[in-house]
């Protein structure tokens, strides 16, 4: 009970801090769309029940949206004659999924309250519910984002960290978004769920020295040195569909799937956070909530900026 109260206090303080930095508020839609959150929860519950990995995929969509010119749903836009969207950028192509889930939520929200709720806010709510439905924490989502009218293929290629990123690169990328090492480490804990393609961890399991031999041997069985690029492995082999602190226990045992994962426990300032999170899931949960609230507040479009899309895949 004390841990629960402590987590609630941290979340409350975080909400007060980040709602003051932009025009985002928990009750932004109020009477205009009173059933919004229950609609999102209903679709996400059905989705995760059918495919638990989709919870991780929606969370990743949110991350890839916010890190490219802010949390504005630009990642959801299809290519047009006037701009190349972000879906086919290097970090996203043949990798991002869950667009149809956001479409399904948007369709139901439009039926309930047309032209009111942004795709950016729907994505933020869906990411929260995906985490919680997989056993992770919940939090109050700040709302009021509007949708962008364009997307950036080039920014998607340059602003997102890669699976081969060094620790210094990770720190630099996160710092450019106003996120510190503690935020970086906590948000990386999202890799307690989801999967990665062989092409993204092949070099790590064959070439890096700081990998547990038994772990790399098991991964090599399904990720050969050539071919099998699309073969999938769980980011957290202990509990791939459970949002817990197993990810940190893995990297302490040199069993991080990606090079960038293992960089967080490789004689760097992040080591201390990894140790704490591996022992205390409540501290990890609290820090994750604090960090994702900060991430969700990256350069939102508010007021009269942007638009409220009717279709999340195209501008009005």
- Annotated binding-site residues for substrate read 161
C-alpha distance from residue 269 to each of 161, 175, 250, 276 (Å): 18, 14, 18, 13
Q: Which residue has the tokens 């990297």?
A: 251
The residues carrying an active-site annotation are 64
Q: Read off the tokens for 277.
A: 């999170």
Distance between CA atoms of residues 33 and 29, nearest Å: 6
C-alpha distance from residue 189 to each of 148, 150, 186, 212 (Å): 28, 30, 5, 19
Q: Read off the tokens for 96.
A: 């991002």
CA dihedral 197, 170, 264, 232 (to 10 degrees): 0
Beta-carbon contacts of residue 199 (< 8 Å; ≥ 6 apart): 229, 230
Helix, strand or coil, per DSSP, at residue 264: helix
Binding residues for heme b: 191
DSSP β-bridge partners for residue 196: 233
Nearest to 123 by CA among 42, 62, 57, 45: 62
**Residues 18-44, buried b or exposed e (16+ Cβ, 10 A)?**
bbeebebeeebbeeebeebbebbbebb
User: In the 8-state DSSP scheme, what is residue 73?
Assistant: S
User: In the 8-state DSSP scheme, what is residue 160?
Assistant: S
Binding residues: 65, 68, 70, 72, 74, 86, 161, 191-192, 236, 244
- Please list the alpha-helical segments (H only) found in the chain: 2-19, 36-50, 53-66, 99-112, 119-133, 153-159, 167-175, 181-188, 198-207, 213-220, 246-252, 259-262, 271-279, 281-295
């Amino acid at each position: 009970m004390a841990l629960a109260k402590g987590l609630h206090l941290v979340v409350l303080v975080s909400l007060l801090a980040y709602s003051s930095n932009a025009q985002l508020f928990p009750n932004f839609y109020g009477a205009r769309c009173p059933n919004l959150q229950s609609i999102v929860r209903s679709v996400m519950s059905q989705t995760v029940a059918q495919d638990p990995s989709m919870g991780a995929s929606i969370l990743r969509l949110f991350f890839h949206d916010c890190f490219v010119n802010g949390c504005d749903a630009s990642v959801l836009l299809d290519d047009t004659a006037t701009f190349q969207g972000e879906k086919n950028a290097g970090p996203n192509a043949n990798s991002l999924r869950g667009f149809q889930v956001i479409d399904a939520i948007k369709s139901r929200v439009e039926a309930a309250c047309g032209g009111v709720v942004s795709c950016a806010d729907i994505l933020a709510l869906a990411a929260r519910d995906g985490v919680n439905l997989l056993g992770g924490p919940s939090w109050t989502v700040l709302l009021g984002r509007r949708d962008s009218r364009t997307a950036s293929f080039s920014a998607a290629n340059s602003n997102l960290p890669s699976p081969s990123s060094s620790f210094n690169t990770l720190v630099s990328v996160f710092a450019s978004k106003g996120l510190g090492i503690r935020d970086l480490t906590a948000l990386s804990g999202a890799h307690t769920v989801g999967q990665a393609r062989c092409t993204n961890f092949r070099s790590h399991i064959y070439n890096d020295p700081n990998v547990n031999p038994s772990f790399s041997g098991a991964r090599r069985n399904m990720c050969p040195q050539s071919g099998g690029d699309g073969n999938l492995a769980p980011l957290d082999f202990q509990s791939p569909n459970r949002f817990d602190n197993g990810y940190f226990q893995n990297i302490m045992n040199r069993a991080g799937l990606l090079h960038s994962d293992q960089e967080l426990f490789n004689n760097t300032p992040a080591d201390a956070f990894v140790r704490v999170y591996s022992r205390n899931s409540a501290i990890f949960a609290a820090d994750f909530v604090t960090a994702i609230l900060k991430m969700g507040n990256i350069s939102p479009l508010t007021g009269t900026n942007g638009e409220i899309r009717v279709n999340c895949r195209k501008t009005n």
